[in-house]
Amino acid sequence: MLWPGPARDDGECDSGRVTELLRTGGVRLVEIRSTVLSVDEVIAAVSGPELGGAVMFLGTVRNEDHGRAVRRLDYSAHPSADTELARVAGEVAADAPAVALAALHRVGELDVGEIAVVVGAAAPHRDEAFRVGRVLIDRIKAEVPLWKRQSFADGAHEWVGACD
């Protein structure tokens, strides 16, 4: 889902600066997909000539969890997950109007090494990009109703109540 970004002028900046911020920042892309995620798509979504610092977070399926060998993960999403992802991204964007944001999360079966989530944040300066990118991934993990079922090499399975 493409997101138009913030749509209000809170009066804290002059109108020319607000117009520039609305064009620069905001949520540019959020979606939950069953297909392979594209890092290049997220980079393109948060790119712009006025955005000097961009950070990407990639969450990949690792080969072990708490000392147990992981074979694959199966991500599931509640029907409201798309809406919740958009809500979280919108709230983060509202607190950082000059930052461009994007987030993609995968559902379905993923093998070790595959990308489960991509979050991008770009800002005029790196400090803000790092800060807001961290806030976004932490809130996605805590608030978006996604679950993973881990399949271990020994044949056992385990449900985990949040995305990684």
For 97-123, what is each residue's pLDDT tens digit? 999 999 999 999 999 999 999 999 999
15-160 sits in which CATH class? alpha beta
What's the pLDDT at 160? 85
CA distance 37 to 49: 24
**Lookup: tokens for 14:** 């002059």
Percent of the chain with pLDDT over 70: 83
pLDDT in tens, 3-17: 333 332 333 333 333
Domain boundaries, the chain: 15-160
Q: Indicate the pTM of the whole model.
A: 0.83
Q: What letter represents residue 85's amino acid?
A: L
Rounded average pLDDT over 134-161? 95
Beta strands in 7-162 (DSSP E): 26-33, 53-60, 64-65, 68-77, 100-106, 108-111, 115-123, 146-152, 157-160
